[in-house]
Every structure is written in structure tokens, then in C-alpha cells.
A and B are shown apart, each in its own frame.
Chain A
């Protein structure tokens, strides 16, 4: 069962690599059902559209920002899943883009997955990632009078919460 699933996962990765030989930088299957693919950020919309229309990952589970100050990167992870295609419904496909930490910019995926709307707004305010083409990129969760830097960055600490 698990080897069969692994080969299924590998097949998916191979399809992606064949379609986007330059854009896919790395890929790994951490375990069956979880596929992580790093890609060139310029290719996001093309890749996302292909993943949705051809591979069947019809919805977005979420978007996670990850701050990596040692490599001066902010990673943006897109978690995609499938409701309609039975044979891949248990897979979470994670698309990972690496952005420059000082000016993180990437295209908005709202046109591909409408549910990206709130996830992108959250990542914008928490990590300062600018999603170009988002129809309404504004703060979501923090206080209206929050003036500080994006709070989820590793060098932003709240000493009163015991963060040193």
C-alpha cells in the first residue's frame, strides 16, 4: 500500500518536473501523502494554474510564511489539496517559494484559488510579504493601531511575553 502510494507521489513530482523543468528547484516526498516542491517565485501563477487544472489540486488549505534569517529568506508555503480527484485526495501538495527577506514580493494566487484572499492578507501583515495583484491587501488580524514591524519575523520579540 505505502510503496504504491510512494510511486504515485513520485509520478506526480515527475509530471511537475517535466512540465516546469526550470521552475522546479527541488522536491522531496517526506512521507507518503506529503509532497514538497520548491519553485522559482516568478512561475507561481503558471504553476498554480497547472496544479489546479491538470493535476486536480482544486483548493487551497492555507498559506504559511516561514522566516529564515540565517539564509536571509522568507519562505511562502502554499498547501494545496484535492476534493474531487479520488486518487490524490489524501495528498497535501506544498509549493514553496523563497523570497528575499528585505523586499518579499510574490504574485497573488487569488485568481487561481479564491480562498487565498484571507491567507495572503494574514501572511502580508505577519511577514510583510507583498502579494502583487491581490484585490484588497490590508491588515487582517492585528490591532488597527499596530505600527510595528511584521510581528512573526524572528527578530521581532515581545519581552513582556518572555520572548528574548
Chain B
């Protein structure tokens, strides 16, 4: 029996699964459970071992972030708005601050931009390691990589704590620039960690990415063609795994990315394995970016004083997070609170790929596709 997915052709007009009298099919509710990344329910119609269609039922972890943001001050929104994806807190924080800085006319000094970039790339590695441990490792039944990745992630968390004072929820970038300069010894310890981690990536490749078991389970599963990926507007590693080399760090450089050299890992296959490999290669690029940023770190102030109010107007800012582009619309009305904050994030944008990809596949392939998308329910539900 072939295990390759036929590329999604016709879009499912409605995702609703209505009661059916078809004797061969059965409706199964998967979740709402917490498979290591937040609560989500997939209502699946199955025919034997095959999934006919799914209806993603999201919203179990919706907490009205956008509503709450209208009643908090611009600065107190930072710890609030980074909560949806605590494993990628720097990016959620940075994307929100960029439009505010635009409205206020505040320019972060170069040293601050470099420190933000270092923190962001550390966060990307941590987030990808979390994905590798849970969404790739546990979901494919590979418990060794779960232990390896979680162990190594903690070394980065320790350094992030040294830099920001918190393990996960940093609130590190208020408008104007980062809260702290690099502590003494930080540079030395981070360089040492990167050398160690680069060696570990070789081991990861051997035990996971080149492992015949993983390759057999992920290759050819959940194929999203390039044309479909563009049409569906997916983002991040899902998009780059389908052959579109689009990355906000390159098309609209923020922070220090304009000065630094890095590649955008892109794979043409569009299957789950390609999405795995994008994240693997991105970790190598993050190492490269951090090394350059540490080498070229400019001297001078790290932050400017920013006003507490958000001037009247609206601004849109975006950053490339671990799960794809995060776009924030922030509207101000000359008060200390934003009048509207709209979050458009990678998880919510990639949700559309799920009903397209989890069709005509074995039930056992579902976790691999879900894990390949790296869907983070809390970020999507906000």
C-alpha cells in the first residue's frame, strides 16, 4: 500500500463534518488534549485506517488577548502579549514593539538591535529544539531525541535567564530597546555553548534526521505543493519546506539582520520531512547569525527612552518567528493604551494547511503532519 499523500487538489469548501449514514465511515474526536503544545481538537471522519476529512476545532485556549490588550498600557501589554507562545517569547514581544516604535518615532541604537537579534536567534533555537523534542520526537515515537533536545534546550534557557532574568517569559524588549546589556562572561559562555551545540547537531542528524525510521515515516507524507503553499498563504518553515524562500528577515530586515550573512534554508519536496529539515538547517543558520552578531557587536547605548503613550495613528510591524511571520497591527489614540492590537501569527495562518494535508492519509500519519506544521494552539487561539 502506498503511503504517499496525493497533493491536495480541490479545496474542501466546508470543513464541517455533518452526521452521515455511510456505514463504512466513523467520526472520531481527537482531543481536546494537550499533545505537548496546547489544547486542540481535530474532528476526523475515518474510513477504516484512512482519514477522509478533518474539521479542526480550535479555541480551547482562547483568552481574548486582543481584547485584554485594549485595557492595558503599552508597556504592560508586553508580558501579556508574549504569553501565547512562551517558547518563542522574544518574537511575539518584538513584533508588537516594532509598530509602537514606528508610531513614537523611536529608533533603537545599533547595539540594542544586535542584542535583540542575538536574543531572538537564541529563542529560535530554543523553539526549534522544543519542536524537535515534542512535535517531531514524541509524535513520531522517537524518545531519544526528546531527551537530547530537551536537555540541550535547557542550556540555552540558562543563558537566556542570565541575559534577561527569566527562563521563558522574558519581556526583554520594551519600546526603545532591550532592557539589559550583555552580562559579563555572557559572550564567552554563549560562544562555548554554540561550539558544543554545533557538535550536537551532527549527532542529531545521525540519530534522528538521517535515521531510516524517521525518514520512512516522514518522507512523502503530507505533501504541500509550491502552488498550494502560495495560494493558502502559509508561512515560516511550512512555506519554505514547499520551495518558497520567503523570510521576513530577508525581505524586510529588522534588528541587525541587514548587516549579517545567513541563508534561507528552502526545500522543494513539500512533505513533512522537508519541513523537519528546514528547522534543522535553520538552527545551523541561527548559530551562524549569533556568532557574527557577537563578533560585530557595536559599542554605545543599548536603548533610547521611549514615551509611555502611543501617538495617534496605526502601524504594522512584522518579524519572522519560529513558526513563521508574525504581523501586528497597532492603533494608537494618544493615550497610554492601544486602541486596537491585531495579531496575525504563524500558527493561525498555517491552520488552513491542516484540513488540506490531513486527508487521504493513514491515522498514524496524522501526528507526523501535525508535528511538521509545528502548530502551536495557544498562539493560534490567542
Contact = CB atoms under 8 A, between A and B. Distances in A.
Contacts of A60: 233
A83 B252 contact: no
A90 interface: yes
Contacts of A89: 246, 251
A30 to B, nearest CB: 7
Interface in B229-285: 230-234, 239, 244, 246, 251-252
Interface string B50-88: 000000001100101011100100000000000000000
Given A83-B246, A115-B233, A141-B62, A152 B251 contact: no
Contacts of B15: 117, 136
B13 to A, nearest CB: 4
A3 B248 CA distance: 21
Interface centre among B15, B232, B315, B316 (most CB of A within 10 A): B316
A61 B325 CA distance: 9
Interface stretch (A15-23, A38-46, A98-106, A156-164): A156-164
A61 B349 contact: yes
Interface stretch (B118-126, B206-214, B340-348): B340-348
Contacts of A64: 329, 340, 342, 344
A118 B352 contact: yes
Given A61-B349, A83-B239, A118-B351, A142 B62 contact: yes
Given A59-B232, A161-B71, A135 B59 contact: no
Interface string B194-234: 00000000000000000000000000000000000011111
Contacts of B232: 59, 114-115
B19 interface: no
Interface string B328-347: 01010000000010101000
Interface in B294-325: 313-316, 318, 325
B233 A140 contact: no
B379 interface: no
A79 interface: yes
B24 interface: no
Interface residues on B, range: 35 or more
Nearest to B62: A141
A111 B361 CA distance: 26
A66 B331 contact: yes
Interface string A81-120: 1011000011010100000000000000000011101110
A101 B289 CA distance: 48
B316 A94 contact: yes
B339 to A, nearest CB: 9
A67 B341 CA distance: 12
B21 interface: no
B315 A77 contact: no
B64 A151 contact: yes
B20 interface: no
Given A59-B232, A62-B344, A161-B71, A142 B352 contact: no
A152 B67 contact: yes
B39 to A, nearest CB: 12
B342 A115 contact: no
Interface in B338-382: 340, 342, 344, 348-349, 351-352, 381-382
A33 B62 CA distance: 31
Given A89-B246, A89-B251, A142-B62, A62 B316 contact: no
A142 to B, nearest CB: 7
- Which 9 A-B pairs have CB atoms at the shortest separation, nearest pair first? A59-B233, A62-B344, A141-B59, A64-B342, A136-B14, A115-B233, A141-B62, A135-B13, A135-B14
16 contacts: A59-B231, A62-B344, A64-B342, A83-B239, A84-B244, A90-B252, A92-B316, A94-B316, A114-B233, A115-B232, A115-B234, A126-B66, A136-B14, A136-B16, A138-B16, A140-B58
Given A64-B344, A135-B13, 6 more contacts: A113-B233, A117-B352, A136-B15, A136-B16, A141-B381, A152-B66
Interface of A: 30-31, 33-34, 58-62, 64, 66-67, 77, 79, 81, 83-84, 89-90, 92, 94, 113-115, 117-119, 126, 135-136, 138-143, 151-152, 158, 161-163
